[in-house]
């Protein structure tokens, strides 16, 4: 993992996996999708909200979750950053970090397969 400033981050390619970094705190897990004119970008969240169809679906999804029902997640929803905060820093996950995350998820998947 490396920490980079805005200028380095905005030049990073599509597919960059990152978290926001601030004073030894990491927030969220995202994939950079596209850069917009070197000042903004599109991204996908990996710590995601339930699958929904805009506001009504969003409210319905949370209502179902609160009732204890299963709702699929939405990993395809694109977000635009739009903060224009050029002082932010980013934690960039490198190849080995991503492999470690994937391995950990796969190893723990067996716990879900046996409990269903």
**Residues 76-85 pLDDT 10s:** 888 899 999 9
Domain range list for the chain: 2-115
In angstroms, the CA 58 to CA 94 distance is 33
pLDDT in tens, 51-78: 665 555 666 777 888 899 888 877 888 8
Q: What angle do CA 45, 91, 80 make, to 5 degrees?
A: 35
CA–CA separation, 17 and 15 (whole Å): 6
Q: 61 near 52, Cβ under 8 Å?
A: yes
Residue 15 dihedral angles phi and psi, to the nearest 5°: 95, -5
- Map residue 116 onto helix, strand or coil: coil
């Amino acid at each position: 993992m490396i920490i980079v400033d805005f200028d380095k981050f905005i030049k990073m390619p599509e597919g960059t996996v990152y978290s926001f970094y601030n004073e030894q705190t990491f927030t969220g897990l995202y994939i950079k999708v596209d850069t917009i004119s070197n000042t903004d970008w599109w991204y996908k969240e990996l710590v995601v909200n339930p699958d929904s169809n805009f506001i009504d679906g969003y409210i319905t999804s949370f209502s179902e979750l609160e009732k204890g029902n299963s709702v699929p997640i939405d990993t395809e929803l694109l977000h635009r950053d739009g903060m224009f905060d050029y002082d932010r820093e980013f934690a960039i996950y490198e190849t080995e970090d991503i492999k470690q995350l994937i391995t950990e998820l796969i190893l723990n998947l067996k716990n879900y397969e046996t409990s269903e």
